[in-house]
Amino acid sequence: MFFDTHCHLDFSDFDNDREKIIKQAMDENIGLIINPGVDLISTKKASEIAKQFDIVYFACGIHPHNADGINDELFDECMKLAGERKFVGIGETGLDFFYNNSDAAAQIKLFRKHINFARNNNFPLIVHQRNAQSAIMEIFNEIKLPSKVVFHCFVGDEKFLDWTIQKGFYVSFTGIITFNNAVSVKKTAEKVRLERVFFETDAPYLAPHPVRGKRNEPRFVRFIVEEFAKIRKMSVSDILEITTNNASVFFNISI
């Protein structure tokens, strides 16, 4: 089965047809979906959605875009949701120095809090990185880390990939891998260890070819897997056998 390890079903983009979208995913052999939160309200909604649908799980997190104004009380309230049923990880967290929607210092402080919480509780960590490779490497090289870390929507360069491999981290590919101009991401797909690979849609964003430009959905993860299999010259079934097991072990979900 296919596993969409990162999508945002809680977003308003799905308010009118969320149940239909999830049922369509199930009909097309999507067996598991993980919905990371991006703030307190988002995480609460993701938890409720996960309770309603067997294939959906959720993660607790505050996105770097939302770092400004986050105090200890808000962070702690969000992390309390880790005690809810079907919780599987901490995130989406990280650094985004491309959009800079939040102050860099605030992003770094909040990111460190997520790292420490995940490590202290032995939870998987889901990391967002954009234009922040050096800062993330510096933080990760100086702080004690959780045992499980995945870089979602991986778009790092070869140096960053080598570093993630050396650290034993996981990387997750999105619809970007299907874009004709995604040369560096395709090169990463050629090189990365299969035992460290996940797939995700990041829906409603980054719809893959041939549905690029439309709202993304969990069922479109198959196009990402198919492209990866083509790049690696392997069958889709063999890729799925390895990567679905990777993700289920990482998130501690029985399949």
| Secondary structure (H, E, C), the chain | CEEECCCCCCCHHHCCCHHHHHHHHHHCCEEEEEEECCCHHHHHHHHHHHHHCCCEEEEECCCHHHCCCCCHHHHHHHHHHHHCCCEEEEEEEEEECCCCCCCHHHHHHHHHHHHHHHHHHCCCEEEEEECCHHHHHHHHHHCCCCCCEEECCCCCCHHHHHHHHHHCCEEEECHHHHCCCCHHHHHHHHHCCHHHEEECCCCCCCCCCCCCCCCCCHHHHHHHHHHHHHHHCCCHHHHHHHHHHHHHHHCCCCC
Average pLDDT over residues 108-117: 98
Give CATH superfamily name and number for 2-250: Metal-dependent hydrolases (3.20.20.140)
pLDDT in tens, 130-147: 999 999 999 999 999 999
pLDDT in tens, 168-215: 999 999 999 999 999 999 999 999 999 999 999 999 999 999 999 999
Average pLDDT over residues 102-123: 98
Q: Nearest CA to 107 among 91, 125, 94?
A: 94
Contact indicator for 202, 157 with CB cutoff of 8 Å: no
d(CA 4, CA 219): 8
Q: Nearest CA to 90 among 254, 252, 255?
A: 252
pLDDT value of residue 229: 98
What is the chain's length? Answer: 255
Strand partners, 90: 60, 125
pLDDT value of residue 46: 98
d(CA 170, CA 151): 6
Q: Could you tell me the pTM of the whole model?
A: 0.97
Q: Average pLDDT over the chain, rounded to whole? A: 97
pLDDT value of residue 255: 80
Largest CA distance in the chain: 50
Q: Where are the domains of the chain?
A: 2-250
pLDDT value of residue 221: 98
